[in-house]
Amino acid sequence: MYIDSHAHFDLCADDLHTTADSIVLHMAENQVTHAVHVVIDFDGLQWGVDFASKYKNIYLALGIHPSSVADGTTLQQFITTTEHYIARMPDTIFGIGETGLDYYRMRQPKAMQQESFHAQIQLAKKHDLPVIVHSRDAMQDTYAILKQYSPLKGIIHCFSGDSGDARNFMDLGLYISFAGNVTYKNATNLHDAARFIPLDRLLLETDAPFLTPVPHRGKPNHPGLVIYTYQFIASLKKVALANCIDNIAQNFSNLLNTH
Ligand SMILES: [Zn+2]
């Protein structure tokens, strides 16, 4: 069974021919048994709850992305609503996030991103849930903030660092997840990191609709395509695909069972 540990079904479903429900069907065709739908702002929370409620194999991560607005009122509303759903649908809620820091796009001020990141890590810890971390051009600050809450349960999603960064995050207790960009030919830093990270700390994801893996690069991404990233990682690490699949399933269930 393949697992896509991070996808945005609502963003994949943008055009008329592709609906969130048809994407779930594609998962089954590709033997992708489970996926996590990741909410990125307060406005997307209700859609995520409704969508994940329809499917037993879709888990939900609730968060405010560092590029989304997280002023004091929004953040408080987000926390209240999220706590309501943690109590109401504990088997569906996988974690808190994605949250973190994005100094590349810098759509929100640094101070707001950091305050929101702290609040969401605290929320995750309070409920013993994994935190799903986004970090872009902000590796040092991301690490410094996370370290204050170590040991942590969670995932560095769409990992973009090198093996040294991976070591640091693993030492905090976190899993490292690669998206489709690890399959790109020029991503040599990511290849080195993926060789370095042991199978028992690794997760894979599509981050759909972004970062479509080779050989579908340039076409729309969806969770069914995570199988290509599995194949790439198995051959890069010179391990059997079945071994890769089993380890990642175990890692995913370790995070699920922490609830
Ligand atoms: Zn994402």
Identify the pLDDT of residue 64. 98
Q: Would you call the peptide bond into 83 cis, given omega within 30 degrees of 0 as the criterion?
A: no
- Distance in angstroms (rounded) separating the CA atoms of residues 251 and 113: 28
CA of 216 to the centre of ligand 1 (A): 19
CA of 88 to the centre of ligand 1 (A): 24
CB 79 within 8 A of CB 123: yes
pLDDT digits (tens), the chain, 259 positions: 999 999 999 999 876 778 999 999 999 999 999 999 999 999 999 999 999 999 999 999 999 999 999 999 999 999 999 999 999 999 999 999 999 999 999 999 999 999 999 999 999 999 999 999 999 999 999 999 999 999 999 999 999 999 999 999 999 999 999 999 999 999 999 999 999 999 999 999 999 999 999 999 989 999 999 999 999 999 999 999 999 999 999 999 999 975 4
- Distance in angstroms (rounded) separating the CA atoms of residues 157 and 131: 10
Residue in 172, 236, 233 with CA at minimum distance from that of residue 205: 233
CATH code, 193: 3.20.20.140
Residues 6+ away with beta carbon under 8 Å from 113:
66, 70, 100, 101, 102
Residues 6+ away with beta carbon under 8 Å from 170:
176, 197, 201
- Distance in angstroms (rounded) separating the CA atoms of residues 65 and 163: 25
CA of 113 to the centre of ligand 1 (A): 16
- Distance in angstroms (rounded) separating the CA atoms of residues 94 and 131: 9
Looking at residue 147, its amino acid is K
- For 209, the token pair is 């609709």
CA of 29 to the centre of ligand 1 (A): 23
- Distance in angstroms (rounded) separating the CA atoms of residues 223 and 226: 6
CA of 8 to the centre of ligand 1 (A): 7
- For 61, the token pair is 């991560």
- Distance in angstroms (rounded) separating the CA atoms of residues 58 and 34: 6
Identify the pLDDT of residue 13. 84
Q: Which domain holds residue 155?
A: 2-256
Q: Kindly state the DSSP code that residue 43 receives in the 8-state scheme.
A: G
Domain count, the chain: 1
Identify the pLDDT of residue 18. 85
CB 179 within 8 A of CB 224: no
- For 109, the token pair is 């001020």
CB 4 within 8 A of CB 204: yes
Question: Which pTM was predicted?
Answer: 0.96
